[in-house]
Amino acid sequence: MTNSSIDGSAVSEPIYVSSPLLPSIDAYKDHLSEIWATKQLTNGGKKSICLEDELSRYLGAQNVAVLSNGTIALMVACHALKLTGEVITTPFTFIATIHALAWCGLKPVFVDIDPVTMTISPQQIEAAITPATSAILGVHVYGNRCAVDEIGEIATRHKLKVIYDAAHAFGTRHRGRSIADYGDMSTYSFHATKLFHSGEGGAVATRHKELDAEARSLRNFGIASEERIPGTGINAKLSELQAAMGLAVLPLVDEEKAQRRRVCQRYNEAFKAVPGITTPPLGDLRDDSFQYYCLRVKAVADTPARDDLYQRLKAKNVFSRRYFWPLCSDTEEYKDLESADPARLPNAQTAANEVLCLPLYGALTDEDVSRIITGLHEACGIAS
Ligand code: T4K
C-alpha cells in the first residue's frame, strides 16, 4: 500500500515485525457483555476460568494457570519451585527471561547455545553446575525446542529443577506431546506481539498438580482463605477483560498459523539462494508455533552485513528486528558476571550478530510480502 508525501511522491506504508491478531469487535463485545452482566472484572471470574480450560485443551497441557504477563509467569515459576542460588540459562533470549531471575534474587549463569537451534546447549550445562545451582532455565527461542530429553536427563542426575520459557512456543509439540509436558514448569507470554495473545497476559503450565496449586496461590498474594495467608504471593492475576480478549483470539489461531506458514514458505523460496543468507526450516502446522521468521545473515558477495541489511530495509519502511541482539550477557546489568565473558559464549555471539527477524503475521498481504522480498533482494544486489 502507498500514501502520498508532502511533495506528492509515493511513500509506502510501514510494515512492522508483528501485528496483533485481532478478533472482530463484535466477537470481543459478546464476551464483554457477559462481564458487564456479572460485574466480575478480575480475581478469578468466569472468563479466566474458561480461558484456562480452553488453553489446557489447545496446548495439551494438564494444568494451566493464567497470569498477568510472561515475565511475572517466570517469577511465579521460580517461587513455586522455591529456587535458590544459581540458575543456568541462555544469554540468547529477551531480557525479561534474565530480569525475572534477578527479581527473584537468583544469579543467572550463562552458558552457550546450540549453533543451529540457538537454544541452550546441553553440553555446556553440566560444566556450569556448582553446589549453588538449583535449576536450569531453557528458552524455546523462536519456538525452536530446547534439547528437552538431554536437559531432563542432566536435571534428574543432578537433582535440579527445570523451567522452560515457552513465550515463543505457543502450541509447540515435541514427539507428539505438548512442549509443556517437559520440565517442571513452562511459562507463556500472551503479549500483543505473540501468536496467541490477550493484549497483555501469560501463564504457567505444569504436569504437577501441587505446583499448579502453588502458582494459583502465589498469583493472588498467597491468600489461601479469609483466615490464612501462608505464602509470600504477589498480584499476578489476569483481568477478565484480558481473558475475554484471549477467548476471542484463540479460535483464530489455527488460521493465523496457516497464513503465517504461507508467508514463511514464500520467504524461504525467495531467500534460499541468496549468498550469505540462511533460511529457517519450514515449520509444521501441527507442531510449530510460527512465532518469528528468523534469517541468519553473513556478509558474503553483495549481501551486506546484518546491521546494514536491517538499515536498508528500514529505509524502505520495512521494520525487521534483531531479536536477540544485544545478548543479555552483554547488557550493563549482567556483563560483569563471570559467565558473561564473550569468549565463553561464541555461538551466542555469532547468532546475536547474524539474526534478523522479518515481519510475520497473517494479515500481511501478498503485496506486502512481495515488497519485503524485493526490498531484501535489492539490498543484496539481486534483481527480483
Ligand atoms: N520470555 C521471552 C522469550 C520473551 O520473548 C518475552 C517477551 C518474555 C519472556 C516476557 O513476556 P511478557 O512479559 O512481555 O509477556 C516485544 C514484547 O513486548 C515482548 O513481549 C516480547 N517478548 C519481545 C520479544 O518483543 P518489543 O520491544 O520488540 O515490542 P514493540 O512494542 O517494539 O513491538 C514490535 C512491533 O509490534 C511494533 O513495531 C508494532 C507491533 N505492535 C506492537 C504492540 C505492542 C503492534 O502492532 N501493536 C501492539 O500493541 O518487545
- Which residue's C-alpha comes closest to atom 7 of ligand 1? 94
Dihedral of alpha carbons 330, 109, 237, 29, sign? positive
Phi, psi (rounded to 5 degrees) for 321? -135, 150
Beta-strand relationship, 355-358 and 293-297: antiparallel
The answer to whether residues 239 and 370 belong to one domain is no
3 within some domain: no
State the closest ligand 1 atom to the C-alpha of 139, by its place in the atom list counted from 1. Answer: 3
| pLDDT for the residue 6 | 55
CATH number for 304: 3.90.1150.10
| pLDDT for the residue 4 | 56
How many domains would you assign to the chain? 2
171 within some domain: yes
7 within some domain: no
State the closest ligand 1 atom to the C-alpha of 190, by its place in the atom list counted from 1. Answer: 15
The answer to whether residues 224 and 279 belong to one domain is no
The answer to whether residues 228 and 270 belong to one domain is no
The answer to whether residues 156 and 262 belong to one domain is no
- Cell numbers representing residue 252 in the block: 483464530
| pLDDT for the residue 224 | 87
The answer to whether residues 85 and 134 belong to one domain is yes
53 within some domain: yes
Residue finishing a domain among 250, 267, 294 = 250
The verdict on the CB of residue 164 being under 6 Å from ligand 1 is: no
| pLDDT for the residue 167 | 98
First to last CA, the chain: 19
Q: Which residue stretches of the chain have pLDDT < 50?
A: none
| pLDDT for the residue 11 | 63
The verdict on the CB of residue 329 being under 6 Å from ligand 1 is: no
| pLDDT for the residue 7 | 54
The answer to whether residues 32 and 140 belong to one domain is yes
The answer to whether residues 295 and 213 belong to one domain is no
> What is the domain extent for residue 279?
12-18+252-379
Torsion of CA 50, 55, 61, 64, to 10 degrees: -60
6 within some domain: no
The answer to whether residues 75 and 155 belong to one domain is yes
Beta-strand relationship, 133-139 and 161-165: parallel
The answer to whether residues 162 and 212 belong to one domain is yes
1 within some domain: no
CB 284 within 8 A of CB 173: no
CA separation for the pair 294, 320 (Å, rounded): 10
CA separation for the pair 188, 179 (Å, rounded): 11
The answer to whether residues 263 and 236 belong to one domain is no
The answer to whether residues 155 and 38 belong to one domain is yes
The answer to whether residues 141 and 217 belong to one domain is yes
| pLDDT for the residue 340 | 98
Residues contacting 372, CB < 8 A, separation 6+: 15, 267, 313, 318, 358, 359, 364
Beta strands in the chain (DSSP E): 2-4, 10-12, 63-67, 86-89, 107-110, 133-139, 161-165, 173-174, 177-178, 185-189, 202-206, 277-278, 293-297, 355-358
- Which residue's C-alpha comes closest to atom 23 of ligand 1? 94
CATH number for 222: 3.40.640.10
| pLDDT for the residue 10 | 58
The verdict on the CB of residue 279 being under 6 Å from ligand 1 is: no
